[in-house]
Structure 1
Amino acid sequence: MSARDELLDEYGRADTAPLGALADLRQKLDAYRAEVQREGIPPLFVADYEGAELTLHLTYEAAQAACDDYAKAEAHGRCWDWRTEDGIERQFWTRDLDDAPTGYTGGAVWQIEVEPDGKTSEVTQPAELTIYRASHDSIVMGLYTTAAAARAHCEADMRWDLPSVPLDWIEDEEDGVAELVAAVGEEERPTGFVVTALEVASEYDEEADE
């Protein structure tokens, strides 16, 4: 079984935990990246719906359909649509009269991307894996493989309470923390939503503990 097939087998089922054990996920993603580098196989697409498990799909359309199924169960007569923001597809509720967005459903689709190294087709030592933690007032909301997905989760939660307030992100590149702020009048006020970049080591470093 290829690394891609193993990812689909493990995370392509609705009853799978969102990210599983980080060490297991990292190992499978590293194997998948190496396989893409070596063979140029097609990408995978992540379907992420708030409150549901992450699932992997062979096509964008299949991932979108998975989110549509969750939205259908929560619609209660409402309509929804999709648009691209920050490099990912986000699902949002719409008004019946003019299809104007009224708030995010909590659904998002993004692609697992692998950048070619341009040097060799051989499998090399994988780089450190970075995951992104979405949190609100120190309460962890979820872990994601892209910053855009983690930010989308924060923004979707924020939109439930304040659907029309302009939002922005203030990022501290040194510590890898991005804070969501809301424009109130002429001021930008913190919302309590934060995305933090976390590096997951592939091996235990005994010297780092000294």
Structure 2
Amino acid sequence: MADVSWLVTGTRSGRPIVVAPGGADPSDAVVRVDAALDGFAGPVPRWYRATEQIGYWWVAIWVVLAVAVTLTTSPASLPWRIASGMTIGLLVTPISLALYRLVARAQARAAGAGSTDEALRRAADRARPSTPDSARQVAAVLAADPRSERRVHDLAWRAAKPDPAARKELEGLWEKADPERAALAKRQVAQLQAELDQLKADGKA
């Protein structure tokens, strides 16, 4: 990704986000867009952020709890109680994390917009989701011509609207800045399209 302040990678979604040229501080809008791209229509609840920070320790926590339960309630032999407790803990961990995420999303939706699409629309005047392709193109163009940053910023911002004309102009600058990679990308797209056309002709798509 280009090393510019107006094109950032979302810490939650991992998606490129482009901020509006000029204007007010876009930090809050970037956070909201990043959360929306990760499925949260409003602010991510603090308790859920805390559970995320625990990370892989959730596995150990659930395994210890499950083993403790089986040791005190199961009539099986000690090795079987330990083994079954560990198995239960490993099974419960992903289920519990999925449930936490569902609850957190519902809470975020209640505290924010009605949907992630609405959240993105609300922030669209200050921050918009971009694409990995756009980020790579911006990086290539700016590496070849750093003085074009203002123009490239405007194109990346409008392309994220999306604006087909801005998207085409940005691609044109990229083709000039990195013709080899641009040609390779075009060949790959053409090959993929040919495969899709063949699948359709065969009645498989």
Q: Which has the higher contact order (CA 8 A, sep 6+)?
A: 2
TM-score by length of 1: 0.22
Q: Which has the higher strand share?
A: 1
Larger radius of gyration: 2
TM-score by length of 2: 0.22
Q: Which has the higher helix share?
A: 2
